[in-house]
Amino acid sequence: MIEGFRLGVYSRGATLWDGLDFAFGDAAVWFVTGPPASGKTLLLSILRGERRPDAGDVLVSGESLYRGNAALARAWRASCGHVPEQAIAGAPPTVGDLFRRSALVGGAVRETERKERTDGLLEMVGLRGASAWRIAEMSISERVRACLAAELLRGPKILFCDGVVAGAGVPSWEMLWGLFRALAREGNTVILAERRIPERWALAAGDPEPVGPFRVYSLSGPAAEGKGGPN
Amino acid sequence: MNEKPSLWWIDWRISRGPIVRESIGRFLFFCLLGFALLSLLLSGGVSRILAGRYAVTAVLRAEVPSGEGEGLARKAAALPPVRSATYQDPEAAWKEFLRAYPGLDPLRGTGENPLPGYIEIRIRPDRLTVKDVELVATALRAVPQVERVLAGEDWLPRLLLAGRLASWACWGVFGAFLAGFFLVGRLQERARAVALAGDFAFLAERGVSAGRLAFHRASGAALSGFLLAAVGTAAGGGVLFFSLRKYPILERVIGSPTDLLLPQTIASAVLFSIGAALLSGAASLLGWRAARPGRK
Amino acid sequence: MTRGTRRILSALLAASVSLCVLFPASAPAARDIAAELRKERGRLLEMKAREEKTAQELTEAIRKEKQSKGRVGELQERLKRQKNLLSRIDRKVSALNDRLERAEKDVRELEAAHGQARTDLQRAEVVAFTVQKAEAGIPLHPSARERERHFMRLYLEADAEGIARITRARERKVEELSGLERQVAVTERKMAREKKVGDKLLSRQEEERRRLSGIEREKKRKEKELKSLRAKIARMESVISRVERQVKERERRARKAAGGKATAPRQFASLSGGLSAPLSGKVVSRFGRQHDTTFDVTIENRGVEIEAASGASVKSVGQGEVAFAGAVSGFGNVLIVQHGGGLFSVYGRLEAFLVKQGEAVKKGSVVGRLPGSPSGKSVLYLELRAGGTAIDPTSVIPLDR
């Protein structure tokens, strides 16, 4: 479980949001929506342990991410999967390199296993035989799906996806919906940050919980609890 | 899934091609540097060359017979700074003289050989100093059969100074190459860090601290630098060994191939490898640092 | 004195002795013979004088010839010596010329060697300079170069020493050459002088030979004349012998007429009182046949010649009477003492008589004196005759030989 207590962030000389309290339970798909520049990516980075909040704390399984053991924080970050928005910056040359990079973080993924699973994962996201594709020549949707597949190589318990649904495109929503729910059923947690949730997903998730400027949908598992809002 | 990803040989795991190319390049470079280092160590810079070109000549009196000259040469060879002492009889002196002055007609002239026999004394390379030469010259001058001692007292200090300067220059060139290696290595590390910036950013996003990454990278560079330097120096030493055995002129200039197997030579090679390791690690760190101006 | 002359003189003495014995108180018949003998004597004397003169001239000619021959011989000897000397000088000049030639050759060779040595030294210096200049800058083998430069210095010093030696040798040779040239000049001048002397000797020799030829011709002439004279004298002797035989025959008849027996001539050994030496001296010419080495003739001496101090007194060898005291050509002043019984002693070459003819003398009484001589020695001619025959005086008188 990931919990946020009285989280507050100052960005660009102004308080973006403050006093956010929420909890993301395990084995669920959480959908966080918010208007542009509301700090969705920032929230994900705080939850991943990448950026320290200006106020409040994040607890992961009861351990403080920012005020506790730094090694634990590093381990948390290494164990999280993260698909950044558009997944362009710093992309390696080929899709295979993406998987190799992903395997670096997951030390247990061996070379042979990686090679075996790469094609399977790519096929799963609709990129069959794309391991040799050059990232620069792929579309946004393809890149996003390739990154997602590369993150799944490590089998992260928590998967943070920033703009993946919008980036992957409508044709891939079905695949993504099935994928995320499968992950949740396997006990993994997926936290997505999007501007808007696909309608079908929204219907499946039910009413969102307001968490500051965000609306948090739980696509499976217990609903998120949120208090506070944008300043 | 490990909590802490292993960062050993992270560059190799991310990008092998450039690493292979760089390693090959560094190996060859260390072969060359190792060859140069061992050559400099054996020759003492230019000491051996100087010692090979410098000699003290004890010109004997004309009436000294060959047997006595050879006996004097044996006694001279027993002096501590002396490496070898060879007696040349008047006939040999005459032939050498005619070779040096080819315009002279050997059949004409005084009708008899005006040159006396002499003893050529070679000084050990590590004892080629003004003081040791003076010691040898003084000992020879005290011998009644010696008419004159040619020790080059007027130009020896300049020669030794030139030798020292040359040795320093050789070591300087070696050091320059080493510095060049460091600079090139740094540039390579920087370039690789820039090339792998995305991967490093990926790792940074996944909780891998820059410091840890830099440390592992530098350690890997140091270890690979040590190994490459050691193997390269060994290879260079092997080439040097066979070259010295095959080309006697090199042996005269550099030294005996068996000196390569002396403990001090091996220790010097190990020290060089350690130094190369340190330089490689430093180049990795500095290159990493130079590649991260905009990094958080 | 030639053999012929001695014979003539001996005959004259014999004739004189015979006359002294036979005609102290002659009869008128003997006067014819005496007159004849005197006439013949006079003729003989004349002939003898002529012969003496001719003999003297011959002797003179012979003496001149001998002298001339001697001079010719001497000149020949001198010429021979001159020739030898000239040969020696010539050989010496040849030897000197040879040495001169060798010395000149040596000088040329030394000069050539000197020039070559100097050229070689210069070339060596150029080589040394060129090599050292080429190696200027940074030497690759400084010790070897230093040693070679030192050896080049030794080499050049040895060359220079060699040149100095050649120079000294050349100077010595030039000096020797000058000496030889002077010697050659001196020797050639000497040779020229000796040649002149030789030419003079040749001309003198020629002159002397001509003179000798003249003397020989004169000698031949004199010999011929002498031969003729001797023939005449021989004829005269035969006349005198004939007269002597006549005298003897007359004497025998006279003795026979006087009723006495012919007495055999006496011997000197039985002479009363014995004999003594006429003076103290040494016999220098013995009695009998003697070979005259001077004239290469064999002569017969009828007496002996005794050399004594000049001016020595001559004593009678025995008791007797002075039968003759006068000059006889060839014998100078002659004193004849008859000792009776046909024994006579004849003393020739006296300077002065101290007794007169007919004076009685005893053994050892001074009868005359030898002439003075610058050499301090004079010669006495002593002859003993017994019965007209000359006998060796040394056989009866103790004389020092």
pLDDT digits (tens, 9 = 90+) for A32-61: 999 888 889 999 989 988 888 998 999 988
The pLDDT assigned to A159 comes to 92
Helix ranges, A39-197 (H): 40-48, 70-79, 95-105, 111-124, 140-153, 164-168, 173-185
Residue B138 is inside which H or E element, if any? Answer: helix B130-141
Residue with tokens 């005893």: C362
Contact C389, C299 (CB under 8 A): no
The pLDDT assigned to B295 comes to 45
Strand, helix or coil for residue B153: coil
Question: Each residue of C347-357: pLDDT tens digit?
Answer: 998 999 999 98
- DSSP letters, A24-59, are E-SS-EEEEE--TTSSHHHHHHHHHTSS--SEEEEE
Residue B19: closest CA among B221, B181, B292: B221
Chain B, 22-81: which have a CB under 8 Å from a chain C CB?
A: 53-57, 59
Q: Is pLDDT larger for residue B109 or for residue A185?
A: A185
Which DSSP symbol is given to A136? G
Contact (CB<8Å) B1/A104: no
Angle at B193 between CA B234 and CA B202, to 5 degrees: 125
Sheet of A80-83, strand order: A80-83, A158-162, A189-194, A29-33, A214-220, A209-211
Strand, helix or coil for residue B127: helix
The pLDDT assigned to B131 comes to 93
B104 has a chain C CB within 8 A of its CB:
yes
Angle at C262 between CA C259 and CA C264, to 5 degrees: 155
Which DSSP symbol is given to C259? T
Residue with tokens 């050059």: A134
Residue C13: closest CA among C226, C368, C323, C279: C323
β-strand partners of B122:
B84
Residue C305 is inside which H or E element, if any? Answer: strand C304-309
Strand, helix or coil for residue C180: helix
Residue C89: closest CA among C177, C185, C174: C185
Distance CA C11, CA C395 (A): 22
Residue C348 is inside which H or E element, if any? Answer: strand C343-350
Contact (CB<8Å) B5/A106: yes
pLDDT at C76 over 60: yes
Structure tokens at B278: 């340190």
Residue of B101, B110, B150 with shortest CB distance to C146:
B150
Contact (CB<8Å) B56/C143: yes
> To the nearest whole angstrom, how far is the Cα of B181 from the nearest Cα of chain C?
33
Q: Which residues contact A100 (CB under 8 A, 6 or more apart)?
A: A92, A114, B13, B14
Nearest CA in chain B to C151: B115
β-strand partners of A32:
A193, A216
Q: Which residues contact A118 (CB under 8 A, 6 or more apart)?
A: A96, A99, A131, A149, A153
- Residues C201-221, mean pLDDT to the nearest whole number: 88
Contact C33, C248 (CB under 8 A): no
C-beta atoms surrounding C280 within 10 Å: 11
Residue C311 — pLDDT band, cuts 50, 70, 90? very high
Residue C93 — pLDDT band, cuts 50, 70, 90? confident
Sign of CA dihedral C258, C260, C264, C268: negative
Distance CA A108, CA B6 (A): 9
Residue C27 — pLDDT band, cuts 50, 70, 90? very low
- Residues B201-215, mean pLDDT to the nearest whole number: 80
Contact B57, B149 (CB under 8 A): yes
Question: Each residue of A126-158: pLDDT tens digit?
Answer: 888 888 889 888 888 888 898 899 888 888 889
The dihedrals phi and psi of C355, each to the nearest 5 degrees, come to -135, 165
Nearest CA in chain C to B96: C148
Contact (CB<8Å) A82/B206: yes
Measured between alpha carbons, how far apart are the two ends of chain A, in Å?
A: 26
Question: Each residue of C103-157: pLDDT tens digit?
Answer: 889 989 999 988 888 888 888 888 888 777 777 665 678 888 889 889 989 988 8
Structure tokens at C276: 């003594």
Residue A107 — pLDDT band, cuts 50, 70, 90? low
A105 has a chain B CB within 8 A of its CB:
yes
Distance CA A145, CA A128 (A): 11
Alpha-carbon C131 to chain mean position: 91
Contact A57, A65 (CB under 8 A): yes
The dihedrals phi and psi of C129, each to the nearest 5 degrees, come to -65, -45
Structure tokens at A90: 């710093």
Exposed / middle / buried, residue B99 (Cβ in 10 Å: 0-12, 13-18, 19+): exposed
Q: What mean pLDDT, rounded, does chain A reach? A: 83
Distance CA C355, CA C325 (A): 8
Give C59's Cβ-side CA count (13 Å radius).
12
Exposed / middle / buried, residue C326 (Cβ in 10 Å: 0-12, 13-18, 19+): exposed
B198 has a chain A CB within 8 A of its CB:
yes
Distance CA A27, CA C386 (A): 218
Helix ranges, B151-262 (H): 156-195, 197-205, 210-246, 248-253
* Chain C residues close to B106, C-beta within 8 Å: none
Question: Each residue of C362-398: pLDDT tens digit?
Answer: 999 999 999 998 889 999 999 998 877 888 999 988 8
The dihedrals phi and psi of C276, each to the nearest 5 degrees, come to -135, 160
Distance CA B14, CA A206 (A): 43
> To the nearest whole angstrom, how far is the Cα of C171 from the nearest Cα of chain B?
19
Q: ipTM for the complex?
A: 0.77
> To the nearest whole angstrom, how far is the Cα of A84 from the nearest Cα of chain B?
10
Percent of chain C at pLDDT above 70? 82
Contact (CB<8Å) C143/B105: no
Interface-testing mutation among B13, B202, B295, with chain A (most A C-beta atoms within 10 A): B202
Distance CA B124, CA B83 (A): 5
pLDDT at B184 over 60: yes
The pLDDT assigned to B232 comes to 93
Q: Is pLDDT larger for residue B38 or for residue C55?
A: B38
The pLDDT assigned to A225 comes to 38
pLDDT at A229 over 50: no
The pLDDT assigned to B291 comes to 81
Sheet of C352-353, strand order: C313-315, C366-369, C352-353
Residue with tokens 């799963």: A124
The pLDDT assigned to B138 comes to 94
The pLDDT assigned to A226 comes to 44
* Chain A residues close to B2, C-beta within 8 Å: 78, 106-108
Distance CA C293, CA A120 (A): 177
Exposed / middle / buried, residue C253 (Cβ in 10 Å: 0-12, 13-18, 19+): exposed
In this structure, what is the dihedral angle of CA atoms B184, B190, B194, B198, given to the nearest 10 degrees? 130
> To the nearest whole angstrom, how far is the Cα of A200 from the nearest Cα of chain B?
32
Distance CA C373, CA C376 (A): 5
The pLDDT assigned to B105 comes to 65
pTM: 0.54
Q: Do chains C and A touch (3 or more CB pairs under 8 A)?
A: no
Strand, helix or coil for residue C373: coil
- Residues A77-87, mean pLDDT to the nearest whole number: 80
Q: Helices B210-246 and B16-43 meet at what angle, rounded to 10?
A: 50
